[in-house]
A = this chain, B = another copy of it.
Amino acid sequence: MLDGLYKPRSVAVIGASRNPLSIGYRVLVNLRDNHFTGTIFPVNPKEPSIAGFKAYKSVLEIPDEIDLVNISIPAKFVPQTVEECGKKGVKFIIIHSAGFKEVGPEGEKLEKEVVAIAKKYGMRIYGPNSQGVMNSDPNISLYANFTFTPMKPGNISILAQSGGIAELINLQLESRGLGFRMYGSNGNASDITIDEILEYFGQDEETKVILLYVESFQNPARFVEIARKITPNKPILAIKTGTSEEGARAITSHTGALVGKDTITDALFEKAGVVRFTRLEELVDAAIAFSKQPLPKGKRVTIVTNAGGPAIQATDEAIARGLELSVLSKETQEKLRQKLNPMSSVANPVDMTATAGPSEFAHTLRTLLEDPDVHSLLLSMVTPFFVDNEGVLREVLNVAKNAQIPIVATYLTNKRLWGYLAEGAFSAGIPTYDYPETASAVLAAMSEYVRMKGRPSVSQPETITCDRKKTEEILKKGVRGPGGFISFTDSVEIMKFYGIPFVSTYIFNSIEEIESNSSKIPFPCVLKIDAEGIIHKTEVQGVSLDITKMDQLLKEAKRMAESIKGKIKFVIQPMIKTDIELIMGIKKVHDTGTLIMVGTGGIYTEILKDVEFRLCPLSRFEANEMVKKLKIYEILKGARGRKPVDITQIEDMLLRLSALAMDNPSIEEIDLNPVMVTPVERKVVAVDVRIKAPLA
């Protein structure tokens, strides 16, 4: 619980000074000027008073109990001061001072020392190198932060790893006349984490929307756990940076090669139900609508306009963002036609034309709100000089106040003349934006939240039948190839134990063994080499396809045996002819969890990157969503006269793969590549497998 941090009854400011350019001074006057409801105690060994407050030589001299302390003295003096705070019985310490982990090993040592001291006394550290916290609750009014923007109550809480970004968001909200609820930017996060603050904001009843900015997750798995408890009740809108980062990674599997920083974040946010943004402007614009409006009923937007161009722009953007245009019923269209001028368009977008006045607006909105296909309303308004624009606004607000769906607007007007209209709409609760496309983007973000909120619980995997014990036995055996891969034979066994369809496979140790088993060979067949250290068989010509005769088989086997040194085995499988290849895989990511992947296989895999990732454990709903999001889904469904593929089989394989990975934490990577899909025979079957599971 962070109540002592966000709802303290008393705050001491250590490092408070009379220098108006000092952080200590700023925090002190910020607390004072924003009307902190508790008691404020400046601490300064040299001054008798600061900013009208009696100053104390040390925190130990303060007569009252202290919940929260702000420290902005030079880093080297911090440990001693924290020790004193401990003796005083302080509960929380915000360290604004820089000069810790962010400056190198020396600073890191100092930081650890500080945290250790705090721990000794049961105190919690916020920072160091942090901007501070704010709580606009009028019963608290805590501005323990060194920025400038005046505090105003609101229902949006801001949490950002970067102080600059937290402030940027706050400034933008303020410039639209909005406040915030709680605010946190915890710098080096040596003790209190982003996750902990997030959980606290999640529990705060007055917080309606949480805005989150993260540069790196401290504990991604914990983040998902916390966030997914919050998102069914209130939206988290988040930016995770570093999308352009290209980490150098040791790539040993296809699945691994396809995992990017961004993929991981996407999978985390998808599991947690967090709405992801890349641009701050879009985050802020969306936050305003989430703050002021109810959620849409679905992704079908209805656009109402009195000018053509802006509605076209709004439509293009809405479609580009995955929204759909509602289809207005005949009754709705008929009713609209009754009162609108004949030049109007009564289909969506509804264009009332420039002459529409208050009664046309009222009639149109009222009619649309009755149509069940109208999930959200986008109002695009110009202000013709020959129309009673004030009357229009009055009617719009009148209808809007009973609406159960979100209404967002764009006011295309001369602000000097009619800016007050847009302001009026905004203060009455209808978010207004300068550009029609922004309104579409905002509704798309709301609809994305509704999509995730509406998912069946994604935590409950199906129970599958498998031979878990035998699998564990194999994985316990000490035989590993380079990189920690188990043998092909073992991998194929595990597929069997977990019911993952795998093509019938014959493994021979020598050419003689092939010869003496000639009756078993399933012509036309495929011959593959299995040798230690070979990761991509095709790159060493270790795969021969479509062999129809014994002599051909033996010739190929000899060629391979000669070209590859060391101990090899021969793998023979029946040739499966199909032009649909998938890839499936598992990749454990340190601290984050286990990613599962499905995508288009074959030579195009890494080029086209038609892949979907999710976090394990996987539910059937998620497995189905993954497959449906692939571009190749069109082909799987049976495009251009093809037979459709049995999607359930693909889902089953994914669920079994997920179970295999979750049951056996030593598994780090699995590649099923390719997985052959044969629509005619209605089969989905893997023909190659690699499992990386190093010994502990």
Beta-carbon contact of A21 and B386 below 8 Å = yes
Binds B, one of A114-122, A432-440, A511-519: A432-440
For A385, the chain B residues whose CB sits under 8 A away are: 21, 26, 148
Interface 1/0 per residue, A204-245 and B, CB below 8 Å: 000000000101000000000000000000000001011110
Q: How far is the CB of A138 from chain B (nearest CB, A)?
A: 22
- Which of B102, B149, B164, B315 is A382 in contact with, Cβ under 8 Å? B164
- Using a CB-CB cutoff of 8 Å, which residues 600-619 of chain A contact chain B? 600, 602-604, 606-608, 610
Looking at the assembled complex, report how far the CB atom of A432 sits from the nearest CB atom of chain B, in whole angstroms. 14
**What CA separation (Å) do A229 and B162 show in the bound complex?**
47
Does A331 sit at the interface, judged by CB under 8 A? no
A280 interfacial contact with B, CB 8 Å = yes
Cβ of A489 < 8 Å from any Cβ of B? no
Which residue of B is nearest A307, CB measured? B164
Is A634 on the interface with B (CB-CB < 8 A)?
A: yes
Q: Which residue of chain B lies nearest to A20 when distances are taken between CB atoms in the complex?
A: B385
Partner among B239, B315, B634 whose Cβ is within 8 Å of the Cβ of A244: B315
Interface: A563 (CB within 8 A): no
Residues in B whose Cβ lies below 8 Å from that of A172 = 434
Q: Could you say which residues of chain B place their CB within 8 Å of the CB of A171? A: 412-415
Cβ-based interface call for A313 (8 A): yes
Chain B residues whose CB sits within 8 angstroms of the CB of A213 once the complex forms: 309
- Closest residue of chain B to A380, judged by CB? B164
Cβ distance A165 to chain B, nearest Cβ, rounded Å? 4
Given the complex of chains A and B, what is the CA–CA distance between A323 and B576 in angstroms?
A: 44
In the complex, the answer to whether A241 meets B313 with C-beta atoms within 8 Å is yes
Contact A310 B607 (CB under 8 A): no
C-alpha gap A382/B166 in the complex (Å): 12
A559 CB to nearest chain B CB (Å): 16
Q: Is the CB of B610 within 8 A of A608?
A: yes
The answer, yes or no, to whether A250 is at the interface (CB within 8 Å) is: no
- At the interface, yes or no: A312 with Cβ under 8 Å from chain B? yes
Contact A320:B164 (CB < 8 A) given known A148-B414, A415-B175, A603-B579: no
A525 smallest CB distance to B (angstroms): 16
A162 in contact with B417 (CB, 8 Å): no
A164 surroundings in chain B (CB, below 8 A): 307-310, 382, 412
Say how far A57's CB is from chain B's closest CB, in angstroms.
25
Question: A641 on the interface (CB 8 Å rule)?
Answer: yes
A241 and B608 contacting across the interface, CB-CB below 8 Å: no
The yes or no answer to A317 lying at the interface (CB within 8 A) is yes
Chain A 299-312 interface mask (CB, 8 Å, partner B; 1/0): 00000000111101
Interface residues of A in 394-448 (CB under 8 A from B): 412-415, 417, 434-438
Centre residue among A165, A539, A600, A607 by max chain B CB count within 10 A: A607
The reply to whether B241 and A312 form a contact with Cβ atoms under 8 Å apart is yes
Contact of A280 among B315, B437, B608 (CB under 8 A): B437
A689 contacts chain B at the CB level, 8 A cutoff: no
- A639 contacts the other chain (Cβ, under 8 Å)? yes
Residues 336-394 of A at the B interface (beta carbon under 8 Å): 343, 382, 385-386
Query: Which residues between 552 and 584 of chain A lie within 8 Å of chain B, taking CB atoms?
Result: 579-580
A640 and B279 contact, CB distance less than 8 A = no
Give the distance in Å from the alpha carbon of A437 to the alpha carbon of B165 in the complex: 12
Tell whether A260 is near chain B: CB-to-CB under 8 Å: no
Do A215 and B415 touch across chains, with their CB atoms under 8 A apart?
no
A413 to B343, CA, bound (A): 47
Are B608 and A608 closer than 8 Å at their CB atoms?
yes
- A76 contacts partner chain B, Cβ-Cβ < 8 Å: no
Asked whether A47 is an interface residue with its Cβ less than 8 Å from the other chain, the reply is: no
Tell me if A103 is interfacial: C-beta within 8 Å of chain B: yes
CB of A278 within 8 A of chain B? Answer: yes
Counting chain B CB atoms within 10 Å of each CB, the highest count among A21, A26, A215, A414 belongs to: A414
Q: Indicate if A79 sits at the interface (CB-CB under 8 A).
A: no
A318 nearest CB across to chain B (Å): 8
- Tell me the complex Cα distance, A673–B66, Å: 78
Contacts of A26 in B (CB 8 A): 385
How far apart are the CA atoms of A477 and B20 in the complex, in Å?
Answer: 92
Q: A244-B315, A539-B640 are in contact. List 17 more A-B contacts (CB 8 A).
A: A21-B385, A21-B386, A148-B417, A162-B308, A163-B309, A164-B309, A164-B310, A164-B382, A241-B309, A242-B316, A243-B319, A278-B316, A536-B640, A579-B603, A604-B632, A607-B632, A607-B634
